[in-house]
Amino acid sequence: MSNARLRLAFEAVPGVVETREAYAETTLVVDPARLVEACTHLRDEEGFNLLSDIAATDYFGWGEPGVAGYIGTAAGRDLHEPGSQGLAQVPAPKPKRFSVSYHLLRVGDDPARVRVQVWLDEGEAVATLVPVWPAADWFEREAWDMVGVRFEGHPNLVRILMPDDWEGHPLRKDYPLGGEPVRFSGED
Amino acid sequence: MTVVPSTRIYEGTRIPPRVPTILDVDPHKHDLGDILRVNFGPNHPSTHGVLRLIVDLDGEAIAGIEAVIGYLHTGFEKTMEEKSWWKSVTYPARIDYLGFHANEVEYVLAIEKLLGIDVPRRATWARMALAELNRIHSHLVWLGTAALELGAISMFWYAFDDRDAVLDLFELAGGTRFHTRYVQAGGLAEDLPPGFTDEVRKFCAAMPKSVDEYEAILDKQKIWLERTKGIGLLSAEDALALGQSGPVLRASGVDWDLRKNMPYLAYDEVDFDVPVYANGDVYDRYKVHMDEMRESVRIVLQCCDQLDEMDGEPWIADDRKVVLPPRHELHTSMESLIYHFKIVTEGYRVPEGEVYVVIESPRGEAGCYLVSDGGARPWRVKFRAPSFAALQATATVVQGALIADMVAVAASLDFIMGDTDR
Amino acid sequence: MSIVSSRYDIARFGMERFSSSPRQADLLIVSGRVTHKMAPAIRQVYDQMLEPKWVIAMGACASSGGMFNNYTILQGVDKILAVDIHVPGCPPRPEALIEGIVRLHEKIRAGIPPAYEIRGVAE
């Protein structure tokens, strides 16, 4: 796997807004409107024939200095407050609230991995990749169920992991962890 | 040798056109008035765990199928976002509860990649040995339960007897039979106990004979052959399009194993073969599992030799900011005391970044996408579950099967519901 | 699952027959975590069992939600069923489950009624 050849190949992908390389991984940030074009190019011209994963991430509250640890109240730990992170150094801000990362793999004589990333705001949708790789079906359903990112043109965008009548998208940062407060035996 | 085969198991694609994961009843082939919709599960003796299959039957033939999952969704990803890095390592083991070492190792490898620390050799080789033992364990349970469902009940007892031997090895190393949480960022949680490699060698001496015995029971058995040969076909193109990996992909003729093609840990320093079979049916998946057990024994023996040579070397990295200092240092060094306090109370911090680490779990390509914001807790952990992808293929592989074959086909996809639903 | 295997052998205690149908079962062992999505299915299985029936909550997750205190895991299966024996552990060793079953046998021999008679079951 020669990195120079890969880099040249990635320059030819349509719709790429930014290319990042870190930890020996390449991330191609793609304009959401041209995602299907970019992925079709990667599949047909570059031979990335296996869609490994689709991961949707919510960056709400990224970089905000918050309280480290859990939120304590007079009645004990409050599990229904959204979680926050304690930070020593505020990280660089992200362009939009949600990112959807598509991890692609080339199964063949010249193995390679690449991450295609799109950034979306609340309410924005991105085209479905089911026509390109049928494996995207359930991965996109999971992203919709957990984070609430809509995929335009998906043939069956319904909940997959949560019950069908669940409200809310659990992996969003403003969705509480839930659960029950733990009662200890010495309390009244 | 080319990775993707040129021979085709069937022409064209069998992936359903409307929704890839739902097989719709074809009105040209079946009279819609004859269709009986049956619900299998989620509580069902033949489905591995809580999988619900909604099957449309035309007599005994399967006309339509849809898999419904989510009955074991535990919210690992959300829960791990609230735990410090050190404490969150207990969670990934419970995702794929049979191949638990794979999930632990992939998570810890992702943390180590972001941290950029060097893991000592002894830890790498020990992780490899345990990973291969875990593969043997997972395949034994698969064999036992798959055979049990097809009626070869005695296989269950034999396989589980060997499985208990593997679990004894895990107990010797980690203290508990499974969910060992034996890895930690930087290496192993504790050193391997003395005598571990001898016990492993004893097990490995007996294991290939066990695999031969299992093959003697099943390989030429007429009922087994009738129930597995030619059932559940999946071509290489369809398998790649559906994101399959692991034994399912190798049984469809694709010569792809991450341990050989994209090596991690120290897999490029051990000698082993990758079994590939070309027919893409349940029988070939079974053969892949059996051969993989033998290859795993080979790898484990090589790891044991290396581990014996590395006896006495450190088993965890020396970076005090991440790894707890050894206890005797706490009596003499103020800095060690402070590091210990900081790591235990707040936890170490992982630099900002995102990584995707993929390893070859017993089920196939298992990955961990980790996003860190520089803090003491993960920002986002996403586990790529091979079982999630495997279940997507249900609608494709079950075509042309009868209701009794559905059990065989579902078992051959080797999914674990904890892995699927996370 | 290991308790059925030859090493731990639950058949010594007469418990080797795993019934495929709840209608013919006496004991329901809830092993592992129960999600909110799965809870109605388990409740339906429990309701299908004929009295007298007993329930063992196997593992920390079935007993109390275990290490998962979140939006999706039922914090203890005793919220929807009447549990006779809780077996701790994550995962419980086969010996622990056998101990739980043996204690259940002792409980029954001592004349203690099943849990649904003592505690009642939520509708």
Q: Is B48 on the interface with C (CB under 8 A)?
A: no
Q: How far, in Å, CA of B389 to CA of B364, rounded?
A: 10
Q: How far, in Å, CA of B281 to CA of A166, rounded?
A: 38
Tokens at residue B185, please? 């960022």
Of B71, B164, B179, the CB nearest to C37: B71
Q: How far, in Å, CA of B79 to CA of B76, rounded?
A: 5
Q: Which residues of A touch B354 (CB under 8 A)?
A: 22, 27, 101
Q: Is A53 helix (H, G, I), strand (E, B) or coil?
A: strand
Q: How far, in Å, CA of B393 to CA of B264, rounded?
A: 27
Handedness of CA B181, B187, B193, B198 (dihedral sign): positive
Q: Is A138 on the interface with B (CB under 8 A)?
A: yes
CB C42 to CB B43 under 8 A? yes
Using CB atoms within 10 Å of the CB of residue A92, give its burial: 0 to 12 exposed, 13 to 18 middle, 19+ buried.
Answer: exposed
CB C41 to CB B164 under 8 A? no
Of A163, A176, A180, the CB nearest to C75: A180
Looking at residue A76, what is its pLDDT?
54
CB A52 to CB B380 under 8 A? no
Tell whether the model's pLDDT for residue A78 goes beyond 80: no
Looking at residue A69, what is its pLDDT?
43
Tokens at residue B189, please? 């949680």
Looking at residue A1, what is its pLDDT?
44
Tell whether the model's pLDDT for residue A82 goes beyond 60: no
pLDDT tens, residue by residue, A42-64: 888 888 889 999 999 999 888 76
Closest CA to A69 of B80, B84, B344, B349: B84
Give the residue from C70, C74, C81 with the most B CB atoms within 10 Å of its CB, the best one to mutate.
C70
- Nearest C-alpha of chain C: how many angstroms from A19? 37
Q: Is B43 on the interface with C (CB under 8 A)?
A: yes
CA angle at B254 for the pair B253 and B256, rounded to the nearest 5°: 140
Closest CA to B38 of B64, B19, B15, B16: B64
Q: Which residues of A touch C68 (CB under 8 A)?
A: 179
Q: Is C68 on the interface with B (CB under 8 A)?
A: yes
Q: How far, in Å, CA of B356 to CA of B89, rounded?
A: 17
Using CB atoms within 10 Å of the CB of residue A163, give its burial: 0 to 12 exposed, 13 to 18 middle, 19+ buried.
Answer: middle
pLDDT tens, residue by residue, C4-53: 777 888 888 888 788 878 899 999 999 888 999 989 999 999 999 998 89
Q: Which residues of C touch B164 (CB under 8 A)?
A: 2, 5, 7-8
- Nearest C-alpha of chain A: how many angstroms from C77? 14
Residue written as token pair 């409050």: A78
Specify the DSSP class assigned to residue C7. T
Entry pTM = 0.90
DSSP string of C26-74, one letter each residue:
SEEEEES--BTTTHHHHHHHHHHSPSS-EEEEESHHHHH-TT--SSSB-
Of C37, C67, C69, the CB nearest to B73: C37
Looking at residue A86, what is its pLDDT?
46
CB C73 to CB A179 under 8 A? yes
Q: Which residues of B touch C67 (CB under 8 A)?
A: 79, 90-91
Looking at residue B278, what is its pLDDT?
87
Q: Is A5 helix (H, G, I), strand (E, B) or coil?
A: helix
CB B71 to CB C38 under 8 A? yes
**In contact, A61 and B380? CB cutoff 8 Å:** no
Q: How many CA atoms lie within 13 A of A35 on its CB side?
A: 24
- What's the per-residue H, E or C state across chain B? CCCCCCCCCCCCCCCCCCECCEECCCCCCCCHHHEEEEEECCCCCCCCCCCEEEEEEECCEEEEEEEECCCCCCCHHHHHCCCCHHHHCCCHHHCCCCCHHHHHHHHHHHHHHHHCCCCCHHHHHHHHHHHHHHHHHHHHHHHHHHHHHHCCHHHHHHHHHHHHHHHHHHHHHHCCCCCCCCEECCEECCCCCCCHHHHHHHHHHHHHHHHHHHHHHHCCCHHHHHHHCCCCCCCHHHHHHCCCCCHHHHHCCCCCCHHHHCCCCCHHHCCCCCCCCCCCCHHHHHHHHHHHHHHHHHHHHHHHHHHHHCCCCCCECCCCCCCCCCHHHHHCCHHHHHHHHHHHHCCCCCCCEEEEEEEEECCEEEEEEEEECCCCCCCEEEEECHHHHHHHCHHHHCCCCEHHHHHHHHHHCCCCHHHHHC
CB B73 to CB C35 under 8 A? yes
**In contact, B4 and B236? CB cutoff 8 Å:** yes
Q: Is A170 on the interface with C (CB under 8 A)?
A: yes
Looking at residue B230, what is its pLDDT?
84
pLDDT tens, residue by residue, C38-91: 899 999 999 999 988 999 999 888 888 888 888 889 888 888 888 999 999 888
Looking at residue A110, what is its pLDDT?
84
Q: How far, in Å, CA of A7 to CA of A89, rounded?
A: 32
CB B82 to CB A83 under 8 A? yes
Of C8, C42, C90, the CB nearest to B179: C90
Strand partners, C87: C58
Looking at residue A102, what is its pLDDT?
93
**Residue C6 backbone dihedrals phi, psi, to 5 degrees:** -70, -20
Taking one residue from A and the other from B, the number of pairs with CB-CB distance under 8 angstroms is: 139
Tell whether the model's pLDDT for residue A101 goes beyond 90: yes
Q: Residue B152 corresponds to which amino acid?
A: A
Of B3, B20, B376, the CB nearest to A68: B376
Looking at residue A84, what is its pLDDT?
45
Looking at residue A80, what is its pLDDT?
59
pLDDT tens, residue by residue, B155-202: 888 898 889 999 999 999 888 888 888 888 888 888 888 889 899 999
Q: Is A66 on the interface with C (CB under 8 A)?
A: no
Tell whether the model's pLDDT for residue A74 goes beyond 60: no
Q: Which of A76-85, A129-138, B81-90, C113-122 has the lowest mean pLDDT?
A: A76-85
Task: For residue A75, name the pLDDT band (cuts at 50, 70, 90).
Answer: low
Residue B327 contacts by C-beta under 8 Å, 6 or more apart in sequence? none
Tell whether the model's pLDDT for residue A153 goes beyond 80: yes
Cis (ω within 30 of 0) for the bond into C52?
yes
- Work out whether strand A72-73 and strand B353-361 pair parallel, antiparallel, or are unpaired: unpaired
* Angle between the N-to-C axes of helices B153-174 and B121-150, in degrees from 0 to 180, rounded to the nearest 10: 160
Instruction: Please state, in angstroms and as integers, the Cα–Cα distance from residue C7 to each residue in B140, B175, C32, following that order.
Output: 15, 19, 22
Of A89, A134, A160, the CB nearest to B69: A160
Of C37, C73, C75, the CB nearest to A163: C37
Q: How many CB atoms lie within 10 A of CB A110?
A: 13
- Phi-psi map region of B156: left, alpha, beta (phi>0 left; psi -120 to 50 alpha): alpha
Tell whether the model's pLDDT for residue A70 goes beyond 50: no
Nearest CA in chain B to C66: B74
CB B254 to CB A107 under 8 A? yes
Nearest CA in chain C to B163: C2
CB B78 to CB C35 under 8 A? no
pLDDT tens, residue by residue, B257-299: 999 888 988 898 999 999 999 888 899 999 999 999 999 999 9
Name the residue with higher pLDDT: B343 or A69. B343
Q: What is the ipTM of this complex?
A: 0.90
Nearest CA in chain C to B155: C5
Q: Which residues of chain B have pLDDT under 50?
A: 1
Q: Is A159 helix (H, G, I), strand (E, B) or coil?
A: coil
Q: Please give the distance of CA C87 from its chain centroid, rounded to a whole number.
A: 8
Q: Which residues of B touch A47 (CB under 8 A)?
A: none
Q: Which residues of C touch A170 (CB under 8 A)?
A: 71-72
Specify the DSSP class assigned to residue A91. P
Looking at residue A4, what is its pLDDT?
65
Of C5, C90, C91, the CB nearest to B157: C5
Q: Please give the distance of CA A184 from its chain centroid, rounded to a whole number.
A: 38
Q: Which residues of B touch A55 (CB under 8 A)?
A: 369, 380, 382
- What's the per-residue H, E or C state across B394-410? HHHHCCCCEHHHHHHHH
